[in-house]
A and B are shown apart, each in its own frame.
Chain A
Amino acid sequence: MQMPIPNPEIIAKKARIVERLQSVLPEDAVIHDPVETRAYECDGLTAYKCPPLAAVLPSSTAEVAAVLRICREEGVPVVPRGSGTSLAGGALPTADSVILGVARLNAVLETDYANRFIRVQTGRTNFSVTGAVEENDFFYAPDPSSQLACAIAGNIGMNSGGAHCLKYGVTTNNLMGVTMVLMDGTVVELGGAHLDAGGLDLLGVVCGSEGQLGVVTEATLRILRKPEGARPVLMGFNSNEVAGACVSDIIKAGVLPVAIEFMDRPCIEASEAFAHAGYPLCEALLIVEVEGSPAEIDEQLGVILQIARSHDPVELRESQSPEESAKIWLGRKSAFGAMGQINDYMCLDGTIPVSALPLVLRRIGEMSKHFGLDVANVFHAGDGNMHPLILFDANKPGDLELCEDFGAEILKLCVEVGGCLTGEHGVGIEKRDLMTSQFTAADMEAQLWVKDVFDPAWLLNPAKVFPLAITETRRAA
């Protein structure tokens, strides 16, 4: 993976840039010592790294604006960072860039139950947004796997999803408004406590723009009343095809579970060995969860179990208690950790039409043999969002490259069957060079126009999302 050659002029004037940043921020908010900038050299994707010129930790929208104004004047690229949990390298810096971390912006600004929203600073973690309203039985719906640590800022940047978005949607469907600072320091408000846009839906295009259009410092988020209850059911099947058909039949039957999670055999085996959740060792496993009052749950599960039985399951286990529910989810939630125990892994994020599931899993199995690398699949089956985890050894020369080639083939396959490169992690640098497999030059050009308008100098996170070759003239201008 290539990164742009850093601009030597910027590196040469580091002292001046640091001094200017220090003039608008407290001393401990400007990190510039090479020993310390190291910790900011990568995010959740460690395959690529580069220490930034400096990292800044502003504590207010005004400080963010002051930082951006200085960087704009000095022509310094800025890489916004939430909690640094991106698996796509969204917060990977370049040597001539300043990391702008929002971790210190973590306050709750307003909770409004009558109008069902919460307004927070964006450094706040996803989980602690729910934490701020749960004693009143409300919650914030998007629940990415990293929700404990990931920041709302990053969720907005990547338009993060989660296991329960089949019913509740992803970030963009739960984001009502933002306060955003443009690269020139202008502070703008998009949306608010009301619904939909009065003109062009700028909020809609900002969400998922990977920190390339502005730095979001505050967000108005929709909160929902918690359902009366939830109950998962575990289903084991003897083939991926049958499990896939079962998912499709459940959806067609008119019941809409809040989550349908899929695990294949390698994933089941690894999770079981690590977490001992009591999973059956079969080819494919589904966790289907429904919500409502006990009677409503019974009614929905009645339909679902009937469909499952018609597909000849090897295991059908309806949770009878909160402890059992936790155990059913335990293996799924431990899947990534379990993989980490075996080896280094790369987590992919393609989405496919649900109907293509058996084909795609079969092809991935074939590729796994071809590349000689093991792969396990975890899958948000209701919406077709796959997470193949390719295992490799980072300390073995050549393994990472092999793994990347394998990953690229899987993602191209996702596009080929009518899906896309990334369902919820974002493009970052990881999938940047694969964009041409999904988009024509014209498709991408239209996206670049948007950046041209929001950030004419192309200073915000400029080396991400799009292949470097097609953004080169703009970045150089």
Chain B
Amino acid sequence: MRPESEAELAEIIASATGPFAVQGGGTRPVGRPVEAATLSVAGLSGIELYEPGALTIVAKAGTPLAEIERVLAAEGQRLAFEPMDHRGLLGTEGEPTIGGVVAANVSGPRRIQVGACRDHLLGVRFVDGRGTVIKNGGRVMKNVTGYDLVKLLAGSYGTLGVLTEVALKVLPRTDVAATLIIHGLTPAKAVAAMAQALGSPFEVSAAAHLPEGTDGGPVTLVRIEGFEASVAYRLDRLSDLLRGSGEIERVTDPDAVAKLWSGVRDVAQFQGRPEDVWRLSVKPSDAPDIVAKMPEKAQAVLDWGGGLIWAACAPGTDLRATIGPFDGHATLIRASKQTRSAVPVFQPEPAPLAAISAGLRAKFDPRGILNPGLMAEPGGMSR
């Protein structure tokens, strides 16, 4: 089903007799497979308000991300959290929507500097499992009026409600971006170097470590953005700071820098390969140990200074079981439907928190018709 308005969507949900698989552009099929009729939000499209002087944009949930980025670029602005495009990694087609970005709380390498999608989300409108239209937040940057359901909805994968409109904070684009590449570091040394860079006053906007750079060896990347003179100054200072880590290369060509980081953002390294892909959010300094515990043939890409691990490992592997308990969480992003039905896609929660999450879903979607089971553990409650 593909409603064209919020009212129509609300009506469809209110009168529903069975469950729905909620979809924006359909480019991010993450989660436990949901067998249900597709409910597409792509028909709710369009930018409703854009105030560059107030750094805010409001758009219907089905608005293509590309359209938003185009409109922002025309005013020299952007979504600073650098949302990832999942199509390459997941082999999907279609048009990513802003609602999908929010529902999956999708961020990219700059998350470490400016925050995640949820940190830029100012307000939402959504339809709950009863078919009621609910709004929360607004379109101003500081707002503590009532509970922050905005955060709760971000990353809830359509299990609490179907987003119809989102308001986002936008930021000015930076003039210039440059990258320092350190060659040949082990994950441990790379994480230490990235910690040094991120703990400096030089406003690093991204820090990643790839097992295979263009020369086939590991590369550690540190990005700086800003005004031209400022970037040049900070490149010098960071080069001095990191001199002891290894051989440093500078990349200042805009296209080359953009390509490097879209590759990190979209995990180009693991695109078009047969393995399962896991995404782990960890304490950065734990990353080397966790990587060392992974199965022998697994490969890891580190982003967020080590705080984000993308791991590719043999299909069907339960990576959590292999690496044991750690501070953070793991999500199985790419795997066959079979694996995603057998291995918990989202990190299992301790009992009291699982009860709260289940309780919230029961309140927002009492009939269990919105993406039922998508975030649930296999064999667990349908919610």
Please tell me if the beta carbons of B357 and A202 are within 8 angstroms of each other in the complex: yes
- Bound Cα distance A113, B146 (Å): 34
- Bound Cα distance A424, B143 (Å): 7
User: Which residues of chain A are near B134, meaning CB under 8 Å?
Assistant: 442-443, 446
Please tell me if the beta carbons of A353 and B201 are within 8 angstroms of each other in the complex: no
- Bound Cα distance A423, B143 (Å): 4
**B367 near A: Cβ within 8 Å?**
no
- Bound Cα distance A186, B352 (Å): 8
Please tell me if the beta carbons of A449 and B142 are within 8 angstroms of each other in the complex: no
B86-130 interface bits toward A, Cβ cutoff 8 Å, 1 = contact, 0 = none? 000000000000000000010100011001101100000000100
Please tell me if the beta carbons of A195 and B281 are within 8 angstroms of each other in the complex: yes
Q: Which residue of B lies closest to A200 (CB)?
A: B357
Q: Which residue of B lies closest to A434 (CB)?
A: B145
Partner of B155, one of A197, A254, A435: A197
Partner of A355, one of B53, B75, B119, B174: B53
Please tell me if the beta carbons of B230 and A209 are within 8 angstroms of each other in the complex: no
Known A188-B352, A256-B172; judge A439-B146 contact (CB<8 A): yes
Please tell me if the beta carbons of A449 and B364 are within 8 angstroms of each other in the complex: yes
- Bound Cα distance A454, B359 (Å): 9
Comparing B37-45, B210-218, B327-335, the segment that makes contact with chain A is B327-335
Q: Which of A114-147 contact B (CB under 8 A)?
A: 114-116, 137-138
Please tell me if the beta carbons of A251 and B155 are within 8 angstroms of each other in the complex: no
- Bound Cα distance A453, B364 (Å): 11
Please tell me if the beta carbons of B54 and A354 are within 8 angstroms of each other in the complex: yes
**A190 near B: Cβ within 8 Å?**
yes
**A97 near B: Cβ within 8 Å?**
no
Q: Which of A289-348 contact B (CB under 8 A)?
A: 292-293, 295-296, 299-300
User: Which residues of chain B are near A452, meaning CB under 8 Å?
Assistant: 359, 363
Known A159-B148, A192-B327, A452-B363; judge A226-B201 contact (CB<8 A): yes
CB distance from B318 to the nearest CB of A (A): 15
Q: Which residue of B lies closest to A451 (CB)?
A: B147
Comparing B61-69, B249-257, B342-350, the segment that makes contact with chain A is B342-350
CB distance from B353 to the nearest CB of A (A): 6
B293-334 interface bits toward A, Cβ cutoff 8 Å, 1 = contact, 0 = none? 000000000001001100000000000000000011111000
Q: Which residue of A lies closest to B347 (CB)?
A: A198
Partner of A420, one of B118, B140, B199, B356: B140
Please tell me if the beta carbons of B148 and A207 are within 8 angstroms of each other in the complex: yes
User: Which residues of chain A are near B350, meaning CB under 8 Å?
Assistant: 188-189
Known A198-B346, A202-B353, A299-B229; judge A114-B284 contact (CB<8 A): yes
A423-445 interface bits toward B, Cβ cutoff 8 Å, 1 = contact, 0 = none? 11111000100010011101110
User: Which residues of chain A are near B329, meaning CB under 8 Å?
Assistant: 194, 197-199
Please tell me if the beta carbons of B152 and A205 are within 8 angstroms of each other in the complex: yes
- Bound Cα distance A56, B305 (Å): 43
Q: How many residues of B contact A (CB 8 A)?
A: 84
Please tell me if the beta carbons of B149 and A172 are within 8 angstroms of each other in the complex: no
- Bound Cα distance A343, B255 (Å): 60
Q: Which of B156-176 contact A (CB under 8 A)?
A: 156, 160, 171-175
**A201 near B: Cβ within 8 Å?**
yes
Known A114-B199, A159-B148, A251-B53; judge A351-B154 contact (CB<8 A): no
CB distance from B152 to the nearest CB of A (A): 5
- Bound Cα distance A193, B136 (Å): 28
Known A169-B115, A351-B141, A355-B51; judge A465-B56 contact (CB<8 A): no
Please tell me if the beta carbons of A115 and B285 are within 8 angstroms of each other in the complex: yes
Known A201-B105, A443-B135, A453-B363; judge A295-B146 contact (CB<8 A): no
Partner of B146, one of A200, A355, A465: A465
- Bound Cα distance A427, B364 (Å): 23
Tally of A-B residue pairs with Cβ under 8 A? 267
Q: Which residue of A lies closest to B156 (CB)?
A: A200
Q: Which residue of B lies closest to A186 (CB)?
A: B352
- Bound Cα distance A370, B141 (Å): 30
Please tell me if the beta carbons of B349 and A198 are within 8 angstroms of each other in the complex: yes
Please tell me if the beta carbons of B347 and A199 are within 8 angstroms of each other in the complex: yes
- Bound Cα distance A172, B227 (Å): 29
**B55 near A: Cβ within 8 Å?**
yes
Please tell me if the beta carbons of B200 and A204 are within 8 angstroms of each other in the complex: no
- Bound Cα distance A295, B192 (Å): 29
Please tell me if the beta carbons of A227 and B201 are within 8 angstroms of each other in the complex: yes
CB distance from B372 to the nearest CB of A (A): 15
- Bound Cα distance A195, B119 (Å): 12
**A158 near B: Cβ within 8 Å?**
yes
Please tell me if the beta carbons of B142 and A161 are within 8 angstroms of each other in the complex: yes
Comparing A16-24, A99-107, A379-387, A390-398, the segment that makes contact with chain B is A379-387
User: Which residues of chain A are near B349, meaning CB under 8 Å?
Assistant: 198-199
User: Which residues of chain B are near A418, meaning CB under 8 Å?
Assistant: 138-140
Known A195-B307, A198-B346; judge A251-B148 contact (CB<8 A): no
Known A113-B199, A200-B155, A204-B152; judge A194-B281 contact (CB<8 A): yes
Known A194-B282, A254-B172; judge A248-B53 contact (CB<8 A): yes
**A217 near B: Cβ within 8 Å?**
no
Please tell me if the beta carbons of A195 and B359 are within 8 angstroms of each other in the complex: no
Please tell me if the beta carbons of B142 and A256 are within 8 angstroms of each other in the complex: no
**A7 near B: Cβ within 8 Å?**
no
CB distance from B324 to the nearest CB of A (A): 16
User: Which residues of chain B are near A193, meaning CB under 8 Å?
Assistant: 283, 327-328
Partner of B51, one of A188, A296, A353: A353
CB distance from B215 to the nearest CB of A (A): 28
Q: Which of B184-208 contact A (CB under 8 A)?
A: 192, 195, 198-201, 203
**B29 near A: Cβ within 8 Å?**
no
Please tell me if the beta carbons of B55 and A173 are within 8 angstroms of each other in the complex: no
Please tell me if the beta carbons of A208 and B144 are within 8 angstroms of each other in the complex: yes
CB distance from A423 to the nearest CB of B (A): 4
Please tell me if the beta carbons of B54 and A251 are within 8 angstroms of each other in the complex: yes
Known A158-B144, A199-B349; judge A353-B139 contact (CB<8 A): yes
Q: Which residue of A lies closest to B155 (CB)?
A: A201
Other CB < 8 Å A-B pairs besides A158-B144, A204-B154, A251-B54, 7 of them? Answer: A194-B307, A195-B116, A197-B155, A204-B151, A253-B172, A354-B53, A427-B146
User: What are some 10 contacts across the A-B interface (CB < 8 A)?
Assistant: A137-B201, A161-B144, A197-B105, A201-B156, A252-B75, A254-B173, A380-B142, A422-B144, A427-B144, A447-B149
Return the 3 tightest CB-CB contacts between A and B, nearest first: A204-B151, A198-B329, A248-B53
